[in-house]
Structure 1
Amino acid sequence: MKAFITSLPGCELDQVNSEILFHLHRLYVDDGVEMAYVDTDPQQTHEMTVVFLHGNPTSSYLWRNIIPHVQPHARCIAPDLIGMGASSKPPSFDGRFHSHARYLETFLSQINNNRIGGIDLALHDWGSALGLDWARRHEEEIAGLVLMEFMHPWPTWEDFAASRPARELFQLFRTPEGEGRKLLIEENAFIESVLPGGVIRPLTEAEMHHYRAPFLQPKHREPLYRFPNELPIAGQPEDVDAAVAAYHEWLLNSELRNLFFWASPGALIRQEDAAFYETKLQRCRSVFVGEGSHYLQEDHPDLIGREIGSWLTSNVAIST
């Protein structure tokens, strides 16, 4: 299955080995603020819709090799969060979780057009936090959840990261000023180090070029700094921790169907976490993808895509 590409400024189409091009659409989510998104079926000819939500420091491009597997079964929508990908980068945007949530609320309300039970959410990283927060408040509009490397509460730093180097790096990222900010804003460390470090295979130069494209200028890297500072670790920040705790409790008690991907050793979802969620998530189909860290979409896209397609069609058969 070949990749699709989206037209980002600074990325030449012939630099990516692809024959499938998905054009970006744009939707106003505030005065002068546009959210860019892939939409494989704007005419809504499919009964099912899957919305793919990315996290830090990625974009809809993360789903490029998964969507072609899902497209025959459902309308596939993959937005770029504000400040990321090809979406607007408002100078006044603070990049906080609740600010992203407000923009996503507007986007999903327009895309879904208030269809009851209308969409499945495929969620990763900060896209999972934003998507699960929205799902908790709009359960009647959700058909099911696809989860991988998703955000959950971390009572302590030891719960967040198994390795001391990882803990120390993210603690450094959370310093108000100084070295952490220098690493993320000036040196672009999340793109240059954290992203490739979260993929088992080497990313190609073309792929790195595409991921770098939205953040070529340091002034556009504020979301890459803000997101690590929003992680709900040891109760901080309080407002994000409260939101994540609320949707986590809801998720464990929800009767929505779930498709849960996990890897070894994993990052946000380690093997002991996977064992917990396999047991505690209701109506859960669990899929072990094999070796993987955080960006499972880069290491196992075909498996993930095929499993989503199979899960969608099996659920349709059951419901009918």
Structure 2
Amino acid sequence: MPSIRVLDSTIYYEDHGAGGTPVVFLHGNPSSSHTWRKVLPRIPGRRLLAPDLIGMGRSGKPEIAYTFDDHSRYLDAWFDALGLDEVILVGHDWGGALAFDWAARHPGRVRGVAFFEAIVRGMSWSQLGEAPRKRGELIRSEQGEELVLGGNFLVDTAYTGGVLTPVSEEEKAAYLAPYPTPESRRPLLRWARSIPLDGEPADVAARVDAYGEWLAGSETVPKLLLTFEASPTLMITPELAEWCGANIAALETVHVGAAGHHATEDRPAEIASEVGKWIEGL
């Protein structure tokens, strides 16, 4: 699959199929386009694109801070380099946030947004359950930095505890391969520390607020929310799904079944089916 030059680095991306409005799949943390490997082959008749975010997967690893804005800039350059002027977006985790952000800043170029387990609004520490709160506090501590940079803590926990069925060692190796050194794991740490809680980090909170206004006001852009059950790692709870229904314009919500946060590992066929049906109905 190809890589393309963007800004001072390169973006690797999967490119499958042809026909119709292109569909762009954006992954989250600590993931890569590898997360879509069981989804893309199940959606026929479309051009399906899945980039690795800058510093992640097989994309380049420039010496940058890996802020939300950095990821946004490189992603903008990738869209422009490929001439993607009319797209459907599918986002998971931070990929959902980047999809919302891109759509809000390029409203004339997006035809629909599907998302699951994504950051739809800022939250407070008090809204987190005990386990997520302790994990968040750990990640933002000095000990958390040592855990993330000194080993495979984020990938190991994502694909054991963040799924209902732990992935095989072979499949996990593909997620681990891009991050062999402490320096290579810095993008993962930055993402893990960027979840906006009580307005911090302020730069991310501002971006979430901005795309929140777009989500609420974009009545002409269809949106699809996939929800799951049966895992304490889920980000979009029934309460948050209800909030989405009341605050996101033109939203359809489909409950998919049991899965962990990294739902493409637990429910790839069902995710592909629901996204595929929704795309055909646009």
TM-score normalised according to structure 1 size:
0.84
Residues 218, 249 of structure 2: 8 Å contact kept = yes
Q: Determine the C-alpha separation between the residues in 2 that align with 1:203 and 1:214.
A: 17
Q: Determine the C-alpha separation between the residues in 2 that align with 1:196 and 1:158.
A: 26
Q: Which of residues 259, 267, 291 is equivalent to 2:224?
A: 259
In our comparison, the structure showing a higher alpha carbon Rg is: 1
Residues 22, 47 of structure 2: 8 Å contact kept = yes
Query: Which residue number corresponds to residue 108 of structure 1?
Result: 79
Quote the offset at 1:114 in angstroms. Answer: 5.4
* Deviations 1:64-110 (CA, angstroms, capped at 9, x unpaired): 1111122x2310000001111001112x1211111111100101122
Query: Which residue number corresponds to residue 130 of structure 1?
Result: 98
Quote the offset at 1:219 in angstroms. Answer: 2.0
Is 1:190 the counterpart of 2:154? The answer is yes
Q: Unpaired runs of 5+ in structure 2?
A: none
Query: Which residue number corresponds to residue 277 of structure 1?
Result: 244
Residues 34, 87 of structure 1: 8 Å contact kept = yes
* Deviations 1:122-142 (CA, angstroms, capped at 9, x unpaired): 011111111211110101100
Stretches of 4+ moved more than 6 A in 1? none
Q: Determine the C-alpha separation between the residues in 2 that align with 1:196 and 1:27.
A: 33
Q: Determine the C-alpha separation between the residues in 2 that align with 1:289 and 1:47.
A: 25
Quote the offset at 1:258 in angstroms. Answer: 0.9
Q: Which of residues 26, 46, 49 is equivalent to 1:77?
A: 49
Q: Which of residues 58, 82, 88 is equivalent to 2:31?
A: 58
Q: Which of residues 1, 14, 30 is equivalent to 1:38?
A: 14
| Equivalent position SS for 2:160 | helix
Q: Which of residues 183, 192, 209 is equivalent to 2:173?
A: 209
Q: Choose 148-157 or 279-288, whichever is displaced more.
A: 279-288
Q: Determine the C-alpha separation between the residues in 2 that align with 1:210 and 1:280.
A: 37
Quote the offset at 1:313 in angstroms. Answer: 1.4
Q: Determine the C-alpha separation between the residues in 2 that align with 1:95 and 1:278.
A: 32
Q: Which of residues 108, 125, 141 is equivalent to 1:140?
A: 108
**After the TM superposition, which residues 236-315 of structure 1 pair with which residues of structure 2 at under 5 Å, given as runs?**
236-255=200-219, 256-264=221-229, 265=231, 267-315=234-282
CA RMSD of aligned residues (A): 1.4
Q: Unpaired runs of 5+ in structure 1?
A: 1-23, 316-320
Quote the offset at 1:293 in angstroms. Answer: 2.4
